[in-house]
Structure 1
Amino acid sequence: MKTQVEKQGIVTLTDEVAAELSTSSLWNEDLRPTTFAEHSWKGINFATLWIGMCLCIPAYTMASGMITLGMNWWQAIGTIFIGNVIVLIPILLNSHAGTKFGIPYPVFARLWFGDKGAHIPAMARAIVAAGWFGINTWIGTGAIDTLLAASFSGWANLPGHTAIIFALFWLLNVGVAYKGPQAIKVLGAISAPVVGVSAIILLIWAFTRSGGWGPILETPSKFETTGAFLKVFFPALTGVIAFWATLALNIPDFCRYARNQKSQMVAQTLSLPLTMSIFSFIGIAVSSATIVIFGEALWDPVQLIAKFPPFVIFLGTVVIVLSSLTINVGANVVAPARAIENLNPRRITFAMGALITGLFAILLQPWYIMSNFGNYIFGWLGTYGALLGPIDGIAIADYWLVRKRQMSLKELYDPNGRYSYSSGYNKNGIYALIIGVLIPALGLVVAPLHFLWENAWTVGLFISIIAYTYLMREDKSVLKAGEYEQITSVDTAVPPSNDQSSQPGISQ
């Protein structure tokens, strides 16, 4: 029986099967596979999404930490570029599954962990994202608060002024996220050009006002040997990779709307590493120029903008709000909202998941976390890559090596289907995750193996790929030769010349 249709590389359910599954406990309007018409995102939408997320305060200041550690400007930019090229690989590999089968991340996770076991990787990603959501909301609050204090002399004396800004900015973030991925698509289209042009204007101002680039770009590297450089390079590289390791997992949440594989792959390949590298360079160049202009290096764009006249401060505040909103909603709300929704698809919607995410972020008390920033960065955030790397590896191994890009879309929504495994859990996935986490963790207790922990994301990814592929070599959930063709009807019809598929059709 044909249960799915493949057209131009996109697989969708037949109308009959979709109607049959609509009453399944694993199905709702947000988690169901997208229809062919809903594959409406063009390459430009993915480019603006990534540009909008990359143009943020953490990306602007990323290279500053590397320069503090002794790198010169081009070593820092090179590290950032290489790290983003590396993390781009799992992003593109997982994007393929989302694009071809139109499924969000929690449903994709059912493939390798089972319909109940999928809560393990989904919630692991969600906890990290909710933590980042609260932190970015607090960072954005601080930026807005500082700029308002610089514009209005009485603002700093207003009781509870920071709490007021936090509440309003939190509501804005949750409100946009409440509208779903289609709202994020529009937000990215607005934010990317506004923040991008603002960054270029800031760069031109810095160059002309200082009469050059300043001393930072002329400062040589402090490393006298290659070995000394590599001791700093690899931990820094892992940090760069971890910056977007979260999106490498739940990128199917966005790519399920892609028109085709080529558009999303080209757009993401060009936009992510280039935007991160260029924006980091702007941060270095402008900060270098501020030494000449103000007598000190201002790595924080908020502190820099606060030195301008009130009208410029107002424009800068708008830009920072757009920047903070784009990365926070795009990178830190979609994943936990989908994970929460997947806990009970019949009762919890994406909008409810977004609201719960916002409330959970408040319970994590980001103001307390940021008051002890050093311990936070080197504690919890320093270790989440060790958890997400193995999950990334399992996802890649399952889709590309075990199943070879073939699956039964229908059975992902069937509680008694082949992907329910044993009582809803794929033990092989759980075993591979444990192995992928424990081996890098040896570096914490065995001094000569500390390099394993310093490269925990990369080591865990490869270990889990090997372990999972071996454990799944004869698993019954894998389609047998010819079985994919038996359940799939291939539509070879030529698409109409009027591009109706570009119209939004996402139901939220």
Structure 2
Amino acid sequence: MTGRPAGPTKVVYRHHPWLGKRVLIMPQPIPAGPSPRLHNEDLAPAEHRRWGFYSLFAMWMSDIHSLGGYTFAAGLFALGLGAWQVFLALVLGIFIVFLLMNLSGYAGQKLGVPYPVLARLSFGVFGANLPALIRALVAIAWYGIQTWLASRAVIVIVLQIWPDLKGLTGNNFLGESTLGWLAFLVVWALQLLLLRNGMDTIRRFQDWAGPAVWVVMGLLVVYILINAGWNVSLDLPGGTAQWGVMQAFFAAVALTVTYFSTLLLNFCDFSRFAPSRRSVWTANLWGLPVNFMAFSVVSVVVTAGTFKVYGQHIYDPVDIVGRINSIWALLLGAVTFAVATLGINVVANFVSPAYDLANVWPAKIDFRRGGLIAAVVALVITPWNLFNSPVVVNQFLGGLGALLGPLFGIIMMDYYVLRRQHVVVADLFREQGYYTYARGWNPKAVLSFLVSAIPAVILALVPVFGAVSAFSWFIGAIIAAAVHFLISRNDRSIADSVTAAIAEDARPTAPQARTA
């Protein structure tokens, strides 16, 4: 396709200064309005920009202050690294995340659109469902798993208050006990309450959920240090560097980036509501390098201190709180870490599939319905059975995760290099426009994805490539970006869309022509 396809036309006249009368310029195409197959209020460019610095910063706190975030830094010692090597790897990795996250964030802030609509640029207005559904599958699976993990804290609370309910933990229905089912359904239902007012309710939840965890972690670190005599060793037990210390170090860097790979794709779901690029940059700086490093250091200090206090390294903060001889400390810790798990679930696994599923059928599925569908699917798949299956977690979810790098590489290459950030936003919602390609699909983006996805999945899953498996996200992203650039750099339709977008941006607000 070259340029926007022809359609109905309008006749444009302009006053000619020499002839002193109106003259016909040329028949001009009338751009079609947004298609109901591509547009609804939730997918449309954001009008209300309420996610300022603090809301985005609190969002990062909710994402990082989770049980997974707590154990991540300590888990890197298993690669065979010492304390200072782990610290340097975390610093380098999180600064790479900061730079890459800004790419996604700036695109969302400028265009005001969520991830599946941004993907229409490169994959086509209908082809964007491919990257959207891949991201949705990953999110829904982890949505269910994180909901179940949060329900474990609820069980701890319930059994402390009503110990007689322990009898409800002995039976088994579809892999879970009666109390387990009840706890899971309670947490599952609580998350649906966040759908009441869409993203605005989520913003208010994130504003206090992330900081609440810092309060409990602060109390916990002081308690551990006091009982350890303010003297702990930060060298946690780990494994051996199977392929050398340098490989282990850069693997730790790569794993830090991969930990954030889901939000590298759909951070624009949040930054689209930011009032300025500066607010995105500032929130990312404080929320990622500063907050992530501080939380990692605190988690390592607490884990290291447990060895001196309890004679063993305890990696679960709920377990640590449970050893404190106080029912109130246990309840406070369990509630806080349940909230923390819900926080990361909402950020990483709830918002994305809500938009991704809405993108499939905008006329019938809005953000709320998309979130409800995702929640129902997460319930039906009985996530505890997924989590307890190494094959599912390592191969199915690991394989899907390896596909996220190629998607990021294609979309960012397309937006920043090929189009130089020039987009005809209205055409993202038209069936006939600059992003229609071939029946709504861009074959070049699909080819770039296939060429890069296959090696990325092989490197991530095949044991013989264990030495480079940690780098599969980077390898997939680099191959995808390079291939997409090589086969698309001379694409006439991209050049036409950039020219049109530049002209549209330069057009004065007051109309220069009259129509008849």
TM-score (norm 2): 0.85
- CA distance, structure 1, for counterparts of residue 363 and residue 94 of structure 2: 38
Within-5 A mapping of 1:270-349: 270-308=286-324, 309-349=326-366
Residue matched to 1:88: 98
Range moving further from structure 2, 154-163 or 447-456: 447-456
Range moving further from structure 2, 478-487 or 266-275: 478-487
2:29 equivalent to 1:21? no
Residue matched to 1:194: 212
> Deviations 1:163-211 (Å, cap 9, x if unpaired)?
1110000011122145322112111111122111211111111111210
2:107 equivalent to 1:97? yes
For 2:276, which of 251, 260, 265 is the aligned residue?
260
For 2:481, which of 456, 465, 479 is the aligned residue?
465
Query: Which protein shows a greater Rg?
Result: 2
For 2:397, which of 381, 390, 396 is the aligned residue?
381
Residue matched to 1:16: none
Within-5 A mapping of 1:138-157: 138-157=148-167
- CA distance, structure 2, for counterparts of residue 161 and residue 362 of structure 1: 16
Asked if 2 retains the 8 angstrom alpha-carbon contact of 1:341 and 1:349, the reply is yes
- CA distance, structure 1, for counterparts of residue 462 and residue 345 of structure 2: 37
For 1:174, which of 192, 198, 204 is the aligned residue?
192
- CA distance, structure 2, for counterparts of residue 442 and residue 349 of structure 1: 36
Residue matched to 2:54: 44
Residue matched to 1:123: 133
2:168 equivalent to 1:165? no
Asked if 1 retains the 8 angstrom alpha-carbon contact of 2:46 and 2:112, the reply is yes
> Deviations 1:306-347 (Å, cap 9, x if unpaired)?
123111112112211221111101110111111111111011
Range moving further from structure 2, 156-165 or 245-254: 156-165
Number of aligned positions between the proteins: 471
Q: Kindly state the Cα deviation for residue 455 of structure 1 after the two structures are TM-superposed.
A: 1.0
- CA distance, structure 2, for counterparts of residue 381 and residue 233 of structure 1: 24
- CA distance, structure 2, for counterparts of residue 459 and residue 435 of structure 1: 12
- CA distance, structure 1, for counterparts of residue 364 and residue 308 of structure 2: 59
- CA distance, structure 2, for counterparts of residue 357 and residue 416 of structure 1: 30
Residue matched to 2:513: none
**Which amino acid counterpart does residue 354 of structure 2 have in structure 1?**
A
**Which amino acid counterpart does residue 41 of structure 2 have in structure 1?**
E
2:419 equivalent to 1:409? no
Q: Kindly state the Cα deviation for residue 82 of structure 1 after the two structures are TM-superposed.
A: 2.4
- CA distance, structure 2, for counterparts of residue 77 and residue 45 of structure 1: 28
2:260 equivalent to 1:241? no
Asked if 1 retains the 8 angstrom alpha-carbon contact of 2:43 and 2:113, the reply is yes
Q: Kindly state the Cα deviation for residue 377 of structure 1 after the two structures are TM-superposed.
A: 4.1
Asked if 1 retains the 8 angstrom alpha-carbon contact of 2:150 and 2:341, the reply is yes
Structure 2: tracts of 5 or more residues without a match = 1-8, 10-30, 170-177, 510-516
- CA distance, structure 1, for counterparts of residue 503 and residue 106 of structure 2: 22
**Which amino acid counterpart does residue 26 of structure 1 have in structure 2?**
L
- CA distance, structure 1, for counterparts of residue 463 and residue 369 of structure 2: 46
**Which amino acid counterpart does residue 457 of structure 1 have in structure 2?**
W
Residue matched to 1:204: 222
- Kindly, what percent of the aligned residue pairs are identical? 28
For 1:133, which of 101, 125, 143 is the aligned residue?
143
- CA distance, structure 2, for counterparts of residue 383 and residue 238 of structure 1: 16
- CA distance, structure 1, for counterparts of residue 88 and residue 195 of structure 2: 34
Asked if 2 retains the 8 angstrom alpha-carbon contact of 1:70 and 1:221, the reply is yes
- CA distance, structure 2, for counterparts of residue 282 and residue 467 of structure 1: 42
- CA distance, structure 1, for counterparts of residue 285 and residue 353 of structure 2: 25
Query: Judging changes above 3 Å, is the alpha-carbon distance between structure 1 residues 219 and 109 closer, same or farther for their aligned structure 2 residues?
Result: closer
Q: Kindly state the Cα deviation for residue 74 of structure 1 after the two structures are TM-superposed.
A: 3.0
Asked if 1 retains the 8 angstrom alpha-carbon contact of 2:140 and 2:374, the reply is yes
Query: Judging changes above 3 Å, is the alpha-carbon distance between structure 1 residues 68 and 151 closer, same or farther for their aligned structure 2 residues?
Result: farther
Query: Judging changes above 3 Å, is the alpha-carbon distance between structure 1 residues 268 and 396 closer, same or farther for their aligned structure 2 residues?
Result: same
- CA distance, structure 2, for counterparts of residue 112 and residue 70 of structure 1: 41
Structure 1: tracts of 5 or more residues without a match = 2-18, 493-508
- CA distance, structure 2, for counterparts of residue 304 and residue 224 of structure 1: 29
The CA RMSD over aligned residues, in Å, is 2.6
- CA distance, structure 2, for counterparts of residue 171 and residue 90 of structure 1: 34
Query: Judging changes above 3 Å, is the alpha-carbon distance between structure 1 residues 430 and 337 closer, same or farther for their aligned structure 2 residues?
Result: same
Asked if 2 retains the 8 angstrom alpha-carbon contact of 1:110 and 1:419, the reply is yes
Residue matched to 1:487: 504
Query: Judging changes above 3 Å, is the alpha-carbon distance between structure 1 residues 445 and 149 closer, same or farther for their aligned structure 2 residues?
Result: closer
- CA distance, structure 1, for counterparts of residue 82 and residue 269 of structure 2: 37
2:369 equivalent to 1:352? yes
SS in 2 for 1:298: coil
Residue matched to 1:11: none
Asked if 2 retains the 8 angstrom alpha-carbon contact of 1:131 and 1:361, the reply is yes
2:484 equivalent to 1:474? no
- CA distance, structure 1, for counterparts of residue 320 and residue 66 of structure 2: 15
> Deviations 1:357-388 (Å, cap 9, x if unpaired)?
0111123221112223x444432333333200
- CA distance, structure 2, for counterparts of residue 113 and residue 456 of structure 1: 22
Query: Judging changes above 3 Å, is the alpha-carbon distance between structure 1 residues 414 and 23 closer, same or farther for their aligned structure 2 residues?
Result: closer
Q: Kindly state the Cα deviation for residue 42 of structure 1 after the two structures are TM-superposed.
A: 1.3
- CA distance, structure 2, for counterparts of residue 247 and residue 80 of structure 1: 18
Asked if 1 retains the 8 angstrom alpha-carbon contact of 2:78 and 2:237, the reply is no
Asked if 1 retains the 8 angstrom alpha-carbon contact of 2:79 and 2:238, the reply is no
Query: Judging changes above 3 Å, is the alpha-carbon distance between structure 1 residues 364 and 167 closer, same or farther for their aligned structure 2 residues?
Result: same
Q: Kindly state the Cα deviation for residue 491 of structure 1 after the two structures are TM-superposed.
A: 7.8
Asked if 2 retains the 8 angstrom alpha-carbon contact of 1:57 and 1:300, the reply is yes
> Deviations 1:111-136 (Å, cap 9, x if unpaired)?
11011110000000000011110110
**Which amino acid counterpart does residue 105 of structure 1 have in structure 2?**
Y
2:42 equivalent to 1:30? yes
